[in-house]
Amino acid sequence: MSAELSALVAERRALQRRLDRLSGEAAARVKAYVADRKALQGAASFLDLAPKVSARLETLTRQLFGEVLDEIEADLTQAVREILGQDRRVRSRREIKAGRLSIEFEMEQDGQVEDILSGQGGSVCNILSVGLRLVALSQLDPARHRPFLVLDEQDCWLRPELVPRFVGLIAAIAARLDLQVLYISHHPVDLFALRANRVFTLAPSREQGVRVAVVPSRAGGEVALPGPDVDGVSGD
């Protein structure tokens, strides 16, 4: 009887150890299940919130850039009207594509939309591209970027009588934004000489290859206007 009792006691102890081990494993699995359940609920909550956050960010993006674009639209519209002398309006179409703000500019006249690349034989594109460059340059960090812009034949599609207005507007904007502009043109110097601080002409030369000359003003000196530099270069 004593031997049987000892065996039962040993078996009971073994069963107790097994119960303790299984209880520990069960507790660990319950803890892991609770943690996974909480993570799953958090992920579900995030996924439910994601569309709302995306929509809100899209709204904020439109509002933020909308204010800037409204100002750009107004400035470009004024530029087009001053230079072309026509009642046209520049407007932008804004939409979110692949999580990014996409902007396309259009020209509107009498309720009709025109392609800016072909409007007025390309003159509209001349005006808008310069305006957008000036705006973009004005937004750069002056500590890292020099406020300098090169405009190479940006008046190529403009009628000669419109060039003085075009150059005058560039000079006014450059002065307001404290920018230096190098303006290159094939139009006659007389169309823009009085709008620039310094005017140079380039002409072929057998001796030097290219001859550079400073255009004198009517007073006998260089053309010198107050404000930031707007240098004009005319190629013969």
**Per mean pLDDT, which range of 1-5, 27-31, 160-164 is the poorest?**
1-5
Model pLDDT for residues 187-223, shown as the tens digit of each residue: 888 887 777 888 888 888 888 788 888 876 543 344 3
DSSP 121: G
12 to 3, 7, 16, 18, 35: CA distances (angstroms): 14, 8, 6, 10, 34
Neighbours of 30 (CB within 10 A): 10
- Which residues, listed in sequence order, are joined to residue 107 by a DSSP beta bridge? 90, 114
Q: State how far the Cα of 78 lies from the Cα of 61, in Å rounded to an integer.
A: 25
100-109 and 112-114 beta bridge pairing = antiparallel
189 to 36, 158, 181: CA distances (angstroms): 77, 15, 16
Q: Which of the four pLDDT bands, split at 50, 70 and 90, describes residue 71?
A: confident
Quick one: 106 exposed, middle or buried, by C-beta within 10 A (0-12, 13-18, 19+)?
middle
Q: State how far the Cα of 153 lies from the Cα of 184, in Å rounded to an integer.
A: 5
Task: State the chain's mean pLDDT as an integer.
Answer: 77
**What's the per-residue H, E or C state across 122-183?**
HHHHHHHHHHHHHHHHHCCCCCCCCCEEEEECCCCCCCHHHHHHHHHHHHHHHHHHCCEEEE
pTM of the entire structure?
0.57
> Higher model confidence: residue 57 or residue 105?
105
Q: What is the pLDDT of residue 162?
A: 87
Q: State how far the Cα of 236 lies from the Cα of 229, in Å rounded to an integer.
A: 22
> Higher model confidence: residue 184 or residue 115?
184
Q: What is the pLDDT of residue 65?
A: 63
- Which residues, listed in sequence order, are joined to residue 213 by a DSSP beta bridge? 201
89 to 75, 161, 231: CA distances (angstroms): 10, 22, 30
Q: State how far the Cα of 40 lies from the Cα of 113, in Å rounded to an integer.
A: 51
Model pLDDT for residues 139-181, shown as the tens digit of each residue: 788 888 888 889 998 888 888 888 888 888 888 888 887 888 8
DSSP 198: E
Measuring CA to CA, which residue among 220, 215, 209 is closest to residue 234?
215
- Which residues, listed in sequence order, are joined to residue 182 by a DSSP beta bridge? 150, 231
E strand or H helix at 183, and its extent?
Answer: strand 180-185
> Higher model confidence: residue 93 or residue 216?
93
Helices (H) and strands (E) in the chain, counts: 3, 8
